[in-house]
Each structure stands twice: as C-alpha cells, then as structure tokens.
Chain A
Amino acid sequence: MATTVTERAGPTSRTVDWRGLLVGAGGLIGVLGLYLALLYAPEEATMSHAQRIFYVHVPAAWTGFLAFAVVFAASIGFLWTRRRAFDLAAHASTEIGVVFTTLAILSGAVWGRSAWGTWWTWDPRLTTTFMLWFIYVVVLMVRAAGGSGGQSARFAAALGIIGFLDIPLIHLSVVWWRSLHPLPVVVRPEGFGSGLPPEMLTALLVNVAAFTALYAALFSIRRAQMAAQDALAALREAARRPAMRRDRPGMEEGKR
C-alpha cells in the first residue's frame, strides 16, 4: 500500500488524481446542468415549472438503475472469482444506488403531487421502482447482518443477482395485473424522446451526464474507503498476531 503515502501528500507531479478530476468534472457539468434545467429549458405548457423536477428525477432514476446494473455484474464476478474487489464494487454500488433511487422516488412523488394531484399511485413503473428500492435495502440489511467469514459477501452477491433479475419479472407481473384493472384516470409518467423540444432534451442529457459523473466519483471514493478499511483491518490483525504472516490483506482465510 505504498500509494497511500503519495495520496496523503496530495497528487504529485506524476500521478493523475482521477478521483479529484471526476469530482471536479461532475461538479462543473452539474452546475451547467442546473443552469440548463432552471434557466435555459423552456417552461412546459401544462405543468409549468414543476416539470423542471424532470431534470433531477430522470437522471436520478437512470443512475439508480446504472448502479444496480453494476451491482449485478460485480456480484456475478464475485461469485465467479471470489475476488474481494468485486465484492467492494458491489457493496459501494448498492449503497449509491439506494440513495439515487430514493431521490428518484421522492422527486417523482413531488412531481406527481403537482401533475397528477397525488403523491403516489400504483402505476407499473412506480410499483417496480419501489420494489427495486426494497430489494436493495434488503441487500444492505443482509450485509449489515453479516455472517461468518465471507458469507455475507456471498449472500449479498446472490441477492444482487436474483434481485436484478427480479426487476423485469416484477414489472411484467404488475403490467399484466394493471392492464386487466385499468385505472380510472390514465396516468403516465413523462416519457422522454419523441415529444421533447431540443432545449429540454439538451438540459436532460447534460443532467444525466452530471449524475453519471457524480455516481462514478462517489463509487470510486466509497470503494477506496472500503479498501482502506480492509487494509486497516488486515494491519490490526497482523499486529495482533505474533507470528509473521504474509497473507494478502482482506482475504477470506482471516477467519481461521
């Protein structure tokens, strides 16, 4: 872990501080996104300024899904190779995904209150997102509940896989369920693309880019944090142990 020393000393002439770069770029795009969303994009005809929530809501939802897709891929990678790095990636991404999904649900509720006159409705998309949120909160609970050795990591990975596959199934079942039971008022979340003026689309895409950069920054920071925790635990373990051992830090043999 020689890099920690250079990291503490700040980026030197030779190392490129990718993390700082990401945070900076995300911040800059974010400011631009805010400007585009609040000032540049035209006012929507029927929904007025409440529509501007759209520029937070859609990027947040997108980032949440992206994060869970990363969890899915990292979970498969972990069960396949048992490399700790995959587990850290899955864990970090789960946390961030839950935060962004929460943001998407809350911003959607505020918008729904203004546009539909209700905070919540059991529309397929809303129901699916809500279940998605539940599943990953449960994944975090499993991680917190722990288990011996690398067990909680394996459990969380299994859940990360099953949970991600569950999402289209839940959506399918809810769509089928609702299509037989039409709602009295046809409520549809704003879809983007066809009916969107170019200014709005620009504002949206810039905000999506900002959120994605924010995700990448948070992800790398959280991962580094967890890796540092691992290293610290390994050092403590080594200090407690009289015999010299040169195990790699954070491996699963730590239990015995």
Chain B
Amino acid sequence: MSTLGVVRLLVWKDLILELRSREILTAMTVFAMLVAVMFNFAFSPSAQDARRLLPGMLWITLAFASTLGLSRSFVLERDQQCLEALRLSVLDPGLIYAGKLLSNLLALLVVGALLLPALAVIAGVPLGPQLGPLAAVLALGSVGLVAVGTVFSVMSVSTRSREVLLPILLLPLAAPVLISAVRATLTILAGRPWADILPGVRLLVAFDAIFLTVGYLVFEHLLEE
C-alpha cells in the first residue's frame, strides 16, 4: 500500500470510530464552549478589552480542549488492543504518527472553527475581513499543538499517571507555539498591516516544521512496548 494510502486508512479508522461514538468531538466542543463562557464570566470584557483578550482566551481554550482529545486518542487504541496490532504491523511508525496527528488535527480544527466565531459573538468582536488570516493562524497553531500533543498522548497512555501527565507535558513544551499564536492573533485583530502579521506567521511555520520533524523522529521510540 502506498504511504498516503496507509495514512488515509489510519485517519479513516479514527473518523469512523468518532462518527459512531461521537465521544471525543462532542466532549471537546462542549468543553471549549464552556471555557469560553467561563472566561466571559471571569473577565466580563468591554468591547475594547474583548479585542485584546480574545486571542488569549481562544488559544488557552484550544490548548485545554486539545488535551481532552489527545488524552482519549490513544486510550481507545489501548482498550481494544489496537495499539498492539499497530505495533505488530509492519507499518513505519512515522506513518502511525502521521495518521494519529491528522485525526487529532481534524478534531482540533473542527473545535477551533466553532470556537472562534462563538468567542467573537460572545465577546462582541467583529471578525469580518480578518477571517482569512485568522483561519491561517488557527490552522498553523493547531498543527503545532497536535504535533507535540500526539507525541505526548502516546507517552501518557503508557505511564502510571496516564491522563494527569498529558496537560503537564503539553503546556510547557507547546509554549512557543501558544505564545506566537496568541501574538499573531492579536496583531491580526488589531487590524495591523500584513507586514506586521507576517513575522508571527513565519515563526509559527518554523515551529510547526521543527515539532513535526522531532515528533516524527521520536515517535518510533515511544510506540515500543
């Protein structure tokens, strides 16, 4: 089977599982919305504040929501001994990483696509013309988050403390992605020209590339029994 076919099959398997159970995506979305509402209780921002607070609220919510999905991502595999099967298969572990990463990314993108407009409505920030750049930053930041997160989800599923470990691993190590994503979102919402936004986007692309490469290289060693 071709490389692409393998990855597509792995993602397809996760999608079918998710379509049947609707477990992860529902939990992530509801959780994200709840956090968004809680943020508004906590800050009750004025229209002026909202523009400044929205990037932080968006990315913190996404980071938290991603830990929910990531912690389940390999639990399902383990419970049904699917992880054993994957280990025994002759697949390149890097492909398993790619497959898992893509299905995690899909989930996070769906949540992000729902969360961003919801936050904008709740906080009263018009997104309008900035939607394009915002979507790009959202995608780039999500890639960075799941690139690190997928590595840690396979790690946390095998340790004694399991899910407890995942957020503790993810937040400090995904910090560069989160910091630059927040910053890029902020510059976009402030209506700055493209020249001001570009350095942040470039930084995000670089981080994504680094994390994807390291994740790919390291994953093989983490999958072993």
Contact = CB atoms under 8 A, between A and B. Distances in A.
A147 B155 CA distance: 9
A126 interface: no
A158 B222 contact: yes
B165 A165 contact: no
- Summarize B's interface: helix, strand, loop or mixed: helix
A158 B221 contact: yes
Interface in B140-184: 148, 151, 155, 158-161, 165, 168-169, 172-173, 175-176, 179-180, 183
B167 to A, nearest CB: 10
9 contacts: A134-B172, A151-B224, A158-B218, A158-B222, A166-B173, A166-B175, A169-B207, A176-B183, A177-B179
A contact residues, range: 20 to 34
Given A146-B160, A147-B159, A135 B218 contact: no
A149 interface: yes
A152 interface: yes
A169 B169 contact: no
Interface of B: 148, 151, 155, 158-161, 165, 168-169, 172-173, 175-176, 179-180, 183, 187, 199-200, 203, 207, 210-211, 214, 218, 221-222, 224-225
Given A131-B175, A135-B173, A176 B180 contact: yes
Given A135-B172, A135-B173, A170-B176, A155 B225 contact: no
B218 A173 contact: no
Interface stretch (A61-69, A137-145, A207-215): A137-145
Interface of A: 79, 131, 134-135, 138, 141-142, 145-149, 151-152, 154-155, 157-159, 161-163, 165-166, 169-170, 172-174, 176-177, 180
Given A149-B225, A162-B214, A162-B218, A141 B168 contact: yes
Contact of B180 (A131, A151, A173): A173
A173 B183 CA distance: 9
Contacts of A131: 172, 175
B145 to A, nearest CB: 14
Contacts of B155: 142, 155, 158-159
A79 B221 CA distance: 7
Contacts of A176: 180, 183, 199-200, 203
